[in-house]
Every structure is written in C-alpha cells, then in structure tokens.
Amino acid sequence: MLNIIIFIVGILGGVLVSYGAWLIMPAYGLITAGIICITWSYIASKFIANSRSLDDKEGS
C-alpha cells in the first residue's frame, strides 16, 4: 500500500511541477515534463537492474 502511495505522490509532484512551469511559459512545461519522464525512466531501469542482480546473487 505504501508503494502505491509513494508512486501516486511522485506522479502528482511531476505533474504539478510541469504545470507550474507551463504557467510561466508553455515550452518550459513541455521541457520539464520531458526531463521528469527521462529521469523517471533512468531511475526505474536502475532499480530493475539492481533487483535482477540481487536475484542472480541469491540464486548462486
């Protein structure tokens, strides 16, 4: 349950930051949203890679 709440708060935070930048200038909002998506993808892929390497070590 806590993981879901953390995920939703993270998504909501990204949306609010992008919207706030959009209010200043629409291009800023799109750039901010793109940076948030790229960062999220990087963090998620690192997490998956680390969890797989831990599974491999435990299986040995």
Q: Using one digit for the tens of pLDDT, what is the confidence trace for 5-21?
A: 888 888 999 999 999 99
In this predicted structure, what is the pLDDT of residue 59? 59
CA–CA separation, 18 vs 31, rounded Å?
8
Average predicted confidence (pLDDT) for the chain: 86
Residue 31 has pLDDT above 90, yes or no: yes
Give me the mean pLDDT over the 38-42 stretch: 89
> Which residues 6+ apart lie within 8 Å of 40 measured at CB?
10, 14
Give me the mean pLDDT over the 17-43 stretch: 93
